[in-house]
Structure 1
Amino acid sequence: MTETNSTGKTGVQPRPVVGRLPKYAAGKPPVDVPGLESFKLSSNENPLGPVPAVLEVLRGAVDLHRYPDTSCTLLRNALSQFLDLPADDIVTGAGSLGALNQILAAFSGQNNDGVPDEVIYAWRSFEAYPICVGLAGATSVQVPVRADGGHDLDAMAAAVTDRTKVILLCTPNNPTGPALRSQETEDFIRRIPANVVIVIDEAYQEFVRAEDAVAGVELYRKYPNVMVLRTFSKAHGLAGLRVGYSISQPEITQYLRAAATPFAVSGIAEQAAIASLENYSQVVERVQSLVNERTRVVAGLKALGWAIPDAQGNFIWLDLGPNTQDFAAVALDHALSVRPFGDEGVRVTIGEVEANTRFLEICAAYTKEPRRS
């Protein structure tokens, strides 16, 4: 018989791990400031939105009362042609985060003896990593990023134990910005036991312009324990539809399908993603316009004497340390919302031209520049 307290409520408690998890903090919207248009630069969204063909698909949606194809066959076939790899090597998920959760559910957690597996990732990196790892029942092993904001691959390799089951490589790293290089990544993979899953999270890969940046798909072809994460949320501007995918070889995908959430990607999201792929040249144009703005912002910051890490995503990182919250408050006073991370730094998404210009104006007037590496 269930015990009740004096108010008649049951004493329901979550698993202990839930109380230890950090809380995901989504980017806050800007506030209204008289005389200024407000802009949201606190979430890594594409301010240009999806291509026109996607909007036509959304306007024509008529089968919302039907369950989607849980295997996303049409999208996987489209991606197969687009990426020149087998459709069976693709497993879709609700954004790259949903695809990541499927990976963690399949390969990390608690063993029969109750001992948790370990998942290694750089820190600071994607804010959802510790949450996802904790909910999977595994233990996070966070390896500090280098002073330049990049992954310390030597330290990550040294952190591997016989309990390590998954390693997450975020490239470009969110929120600091640097992308992993091809040779250093392959050298790292060769140092890792073949039974450890290595996930190359490429949520922002379309924005990368570094000539020697790692190409996850090439490494997945060479190493059976390497997986790639991709999303339609960033470059394609479909963040609100939640469609992403992982790429891995058959010995891995068989387990991912068993762990996949049924119907995670809606039918309308699948159709929208296909339409975006069919009009990829327009996606490239939009991405390039944001990269051009990123170049302008970076040049403007350097002209001010500000030191920032190499920015290869659709955002830049300001290592403001104890001035983090102060800068975020100043930006908010100017109708810009940015993303502060405790007392570590501020991530600023590349947004509309006017928003980026105002951001540079704020930086020009701000006297507490970022710390230098």
Structure 2
Amino acid sequence: MSSPRARRALDEIPVYRPGKAATSEDHKLSSNENPYAPLPGVMERAAVELGRINRYPDAGMTALYGALSARLGLSPDHFAAGTGSVAVLFALLNAHLEAGDEIVYAWRSFEAYPIAADLTGATTVRVPLRPDATHDLDAMAAAVTDRTRVVIVCTPNNPTGPVVSAADLERFLDAVPDDVLVVVDEAYVEFVRDPAAADGLAALASRGNVVVLRTFSKAYGLAGLRVGYAIARPDVARSIRKATPPFAVTDLSQAAAVASLDAQDALDERVEAIVQERVAMVAALRGQGWQVPDTEANFVWLPLGDDVMDFAAAVDPVSVRPFAGEGVRISIGAPEVNALLVERAAAWRALH
């Protein structure tokens, strides 16, 4: 008996694999989650929306765009929100790519990029990272052709951690044609402490072809509510909103995001605590002899090659994110869990 067939493009597209479940949520260092509870005021404002979930959400996301506008000094028509920055990326690529076009991005980078790109029917051009796990922007610029419509720059890069410098991004933007959309994915921007790091908003201020992606899932600790957004010139933001399903972000999620923006002092304290844990973990791992790339995110990367799966099993009950044949990404969690990971990493290294 025959059955309906899905698009052939799906034959080559991998299923997105979430981080491995841990014995305890506290031991889950595989999904780049924030180990802290929601910020002050978030639960209270979100709870109000529970009483009206029989109503459709505000499709115009008025309060959310208003809060982002006030925070970033841009008019509301510069924003396009969705269920996490990954969903915004899917909408953006659907709005700007079709069969025959090309998209360029570094690899290894965020594993949702090839899924989102391939669904459009466009041709993916992957440019290898440098040996130090940074973007090779010269090679990426050289990979741009007259068929290229979109380039993605992930900074800090997921899963390896390094940032793109402001100077390097500026040179890259000078080399890329104005009709190529450059997506600066800043999902981890709040954790960046390098003063030389690129600033997507600064690039957007002087370029019409830049789009910045940000999220409430990481630093703000709203991963379960799925709120991300693009910042772009109004015509580009409008194209993303057109490609986004109506009522995508619930009023509960919007309220939580706005409340999170209002809790800046508490956010700063929590992010700084995670940054300090990151610094300590990098120092400890390097002290054991690991080659850990510089990281400005809430995770570290261990390039383990063929030992990836063995290491991931050895650090149990801590769960980490293995990329078979390449490396392991380790999120920054609570201090005691980070300490346990470092202890297990030392034990594994002593045997190898």
- Mark yes or no: TM-score above 0.5: yes
Matched residue, 1:85? 74
Does 2:64 match 1:75?
Answer: yes
Measured after TM superposition, the shift of residue 367 of structure 1 is 2.3
Does 2:328 match 1:346?
Answer: yes
What secondary structure is seen at the aligned counterpart in 2 of 1:292?
helix
Worse-matched range after superposition: 256-265 or 236-245: 256-265
Matched residue, 2:245? 261
Question: Residue 67 of structure 2 aligns to which amino acid in structure 1?
Answer: A
Alignment partners' CA distance in 2, 1:143 and 1:339:
22
TM-score, with length taken from structure 1 = 0.92
What secondary structure is seen at the aligned counterpart in 2 of 1:251?
helix
Alignment partners' CA distance in 1, 2:171 and 2:181:
15
Does 2:99 match 1:107?
Answer: no
Does 2:175 match 1:175?
Answer: no
Matched residue, 1:188? 172
Alignment partners' CA distance in 1, 2:87 and 2:30:
21
Alignment partners' CA distance in 1, 2:268 and 2:248:
27
1:319 to 293, 303, 314: 303
2:16 to 16, 24, 35: 24
CA gap of 1:236–1:163, structure 2 versus 1, over 3 A, is: same
Matched residue, 2:225? 241
CA gap of 1:358–1:139, structure 2 versus 1, over 3 A, is: same
Matched residue, 2:37? 49
Question: Residue 337 of structure 1 aligns to which amino acid in structure 2?
Answer: S
Measured after TM superposition, the shift of residue 305 of structure 1 is 2.0
Contact 1:202–1:230 (Cα < 8 Å) also in 2: yes
Alignment partners' CA distance in 2, 1:42 and 1:255:
33
Matched residue, 1:113? none
Matched residue, 2:274? 290
Contact 2:78–2:232 (Cα < 8 Å) also in 1: yes
Matched residue, 1:355? 337
Deviations 1:179-224 (A, max 9, x none): 1100100100010010000000000000011111011001111000
Contact 2:315–2:345 (Cα < 8 Å) also in 1: no
Measured after TM superposition, the shift of residue 257 of structure 1 is 2.4
Question: Residue 225 of structure 1 aligns to which amino acid in structure 2?
Answer: N
Matched residue, 1:118? 102
TM-score, with length taken from structure 2 = 0.97
Does 2:231 match 1:231?
Answer: no
CA gap of 1:91–1:368, structure 2 versus 1, over 3 A, is: farther
Identify unmatched segments of 5+ residues in structure 1: 111-115
Alignment partners' CA distance in 2, 1:269 and 1:86:
21
Measured after TM superposition, the shift of residue 368 of structure 1 is 7.2
Question: Residue 98 of structure 1 aligns to which amino acid in structure 2?
Answer: A
What secondary structure is seen at the aligned counterpart in 2 of 1:359?
helix
What secondary structure is seen at the aligned counterpart in 1 of 2:152?
strand
Alignment partners' CA distance in 1, 2:199 and 2:350:
37
Contact 2:93–2:120 (Cα < 8 Å) also in 1: yes
Alignment partners' CA distance in 1, 2:43 and 2:241:
30
Does 2:156 match 1:156?
Answer: no
What secondary structure is seen at the aligned counterpart in 2 of 1:67?
coil
Worse-matched range after superposition: 253-262 or 171-180: 253-262
Alignment partners' CA distance in 1, 2:338 and 2:351:
17
Q: 4+ runs of 1 displaced by more than 3 Å? A: none
Contact 2:84–2:216 (Cα < 8 Å) also in 1: yes
Whose Rg is larger?
Answer: 1
Measured after TM superposition, the shift of residue 52 of structure 1 is 2.5
Question: Residue 333 of structure 2 aligns to which amino acid in structure 1?
Answer: G
Question: Residue 343 of structure 1 aligns to which amino acid in structure 2?
Answer: G
Contact 2:83–2:228 (Cα < 8 Å) also in 1: yes
CA gap of 1:255–1:59, structure 2 versus 1, over 3 A, is: closer
Deviations 1:112-157 (A, max 9, x none): xxxx211100000001000000112212111000111110001100
Q: Identity percentage over the alignment? A: 48
Does 2:194 match 1:206?
Answer: no
Contact 1:118–1:164 (Cα < 8 Å) also in 2: yes
Alignment partners' CA distance in 1, 2:306 and 2:241:
44
Question: Residue 54 of structure 1 aligns to which amino acid in structure 2?
Answer: V
Alignment partners' CA distance in 1, 2:163 and 2:247:
32
Alignment of 1:267-282 (within 5 A): 267-282=251-266
Alignment partners' CA distance in 2, 1:215 and 1:38:
32
Contact 1:17–1:134 (Cα < 8 Å) also in 2: yes
Worse-matched range after superposition: 307-316 or 21-30: 21-30
Alignment partners' CA distance in 2, 1:266 and 1:369:
50
- RMSD, aligned CA: 1.5
Equivalent pairs counted in the alignment come to 351
Alignment partners' CA distance in 2, 1:106 and 1:243:
19
